[in-house]
A and B are shown apart, each in its own frame.
Chain A
């Protein structure tokens, strides 16, 4: 928590200094790209459990993750009166994972005892009031010790004449490369460990993801609006994790093996209702199925309550239930005759609950005398899974305008 506060404080100081310079700009430059909004998000997450996939479905799942995000939104209007929005999003998280330390405890603890994950993205959107359309493109990159990902997304949206309805279409692709690090006892002769300084070769495997999202939003009346989203996705390549161990009934050991493709179909419905003058009811439901045999239902309810004109609290509750993929079995339960096998409890059958609350402050004159610091939000949640895993998450968001 202390680290979160310090990092947000440093970023705020930088922002304040930067803003001081922009106030001297002459009025005729109003078509220049201007900073519209900055969001700083810091988060700390920790989990614990006893079903690590690295050790075949048993062993510690202890993990901590400290994440930071900075998104910068720039806006301008061109000569044809179209609004351009450019969003830079920079994310970095540092995690420590006790189970990953078991990949190769003797030589390659660097293979992921702790790691830093960096994932920036840039998005450009153009909105045309005359045609009520928005077009955009986004590029993303992600890197960690054994994984790299390049992504591209395009989007198009058109609103109705009364702006009460909007249809949007998004399409995206991610092209990933995975350095296949194997547990030491399962490496073929001459196969490298993947550690820095090890000159023996390791395999690099692709994993590509494609998705299309079709959404329809509708204002129902002065207090109610809904959003329906259908987002089919297809993945191909190495979808198993090469350092997840499998132990068979006869005691033999190998690594996780899953099909080379996966088709997913999630359908989401969001419904937001403004009740009275102070309470907003935000609901979300998702139905999910895929061709690995998993079905899932997820329900989320959040009720922001405006205590005063600038303070609100937002208690929330999320419930999710999923069935196991057909290739899952616990430790030492797989048979050697099976074609595919996993003991990863993340794709087993379970129910999960996430409960917590957020508090948001947005005083009219800005926070702590800083006029541009529009709001701050602190959010805490406790996650429990029927497999025995528990997690806690705390997030601090600062918004500057």
Chain B
């Protein structure tokens, strides 16, 4: 039973008392937001997300989009998936926030305030596609454990910041450097301060790319807290887990970074392909680097009923990790025949590319529209599931929507 109650809006303290809990999100709450109860935090209001987003997990927060929500050319915050590994950092102070550069292979360990970063280095803005390594996991058979993402753990927003390579050069990189690793301010789920929820990284070659940013803005505004305020590493085209949020430290390493979720089977796939369900030893797993070719039909929403004789306009996006997308084909007959959609060039490297097509259907009935992208190396998406892997990463099977001609 729900009872109704009156509480004073003036003080969250009294609200906490009334609910009999301590509201840990006090300082994050948007103006005018009132929680129903601690265990009933409304994530849509709190994180300013569209109500059609799907919550997979609330501890830690994990939320995905649906295909039709991703129709914008540049993904706004309200449709951006959330993938957290730990608890949100508490009491972030932008004014005292510092980024440390350290590690075995740094010439001079240095610290930079946000003001230092913003004033000392040139700013760049890129549209960068970030996809969770586990996007599509829910389809694998036998199932893989973890968040059961469908297709919505991908976004392509505009990020503004300074180039990581400029900051690394300022601190100095020794000749033996091979990798960078990040450390961040989020809390481990156990609240054990000695444990990190996630501390991943990329090879030096990726760290040194022009588009690899230490970002302080997203779509022209401060990065939302849930996406890494006040500072985030952004490595477009790679598993989004390499783009560390709430960034505090970049360690320049003389070996492959060995932080939390770099080792074992995390963000790794079998080095050699395996049969579904096979057991794979940790030493036979290789780190995922560039994400595979993939596409999404973002318009219309699946389930459209259209009148016989009407043409159907479709559109969407395609992306290919480090590579470019060279072609987008679509089929309305289960892959028996394919037609080519018109495909735009990327706004910049590592941004997704938009496609569109106009479809005529031969007669009434149930149809599925399948989209299949091909990358600049000539690799296409599979129509069924790609190779099985123990952790359910890299499902880039064709996206499908259903339509009926009536």
Q: Do A and B bind each other?
A: no
Q: Which residues of A contact B (CB under 8 A)?
A: none
Q: Which residues of B contact A (CB under 8 A)?
A: none
